[in-house]
Homo-oligomer: A and B are copies of this chain.
Amino acid sequence: MPGPHKWQQRFRTHVSRWTVPREVILDLLSRTSKHMSAKEIYASLYKMYPGIGLTTIYRTLDLLMRTGFINKFTIGDGQSRYEFKSGKKKEHHHHLTCIKCGKIIDYSDFMDEELEFVKKTEETLSKRHNFNVLGHNIEFYGLCEKCK
């Protein structure tokens, strides 16, 4: 078990045990800007941490999503993808996906209007439906330059 870590505190208060798999998975996601699938995370971690199991990755990702550390989304290619929720406005983005070749483009323009729209919607949905809103996914899809 590595030494003290920046998330350990927050993690303990929300969840429970701070373990190596949980640290390395969260650490990996916080460092990449990619939308990683469970398999990709597995492949990436295997180098540093052979012996880690895919099952643990799925379980940890689910836990991290439920506790608000990461976002989960699906973009039609059959596998779920995950990304770190940084909280920094800069790093927040949405997706534009090609339904033919699977290409994903991140965009983070219009954030001022979008942010306002999203915030307002979240608040109202929370109240109206008594939901604890944890996150959102906004996706536009279509055919990219090459595929259309």
Contacts and interface: CB of A to CB of B under 8 A. Distances in A.
Interface of A: 65-66, 72, 74, 76, 80, 96, 98-100, 105, 107, 109-110, 113-114, 117, 120-122, 124-126, 128-145, 148
Contact of A99 (B65, B124, B144): B65
B143 A131 contact: yes
A113 B107 contact: no
Given A125-B140, A134-B141, 20 more contacts: A65-B99, A66-B100, A74-B76, A96-B125, A96-B129, A98-B131, A107-B128, A110-B121, A113-B117, A114-B121, A131-B142, A131-B145, A131-B148, A132-B142, A132-B148, A133-B141, A133-B142, A136-B139, A136-B140, A137-B141
Nearest to A129: B105
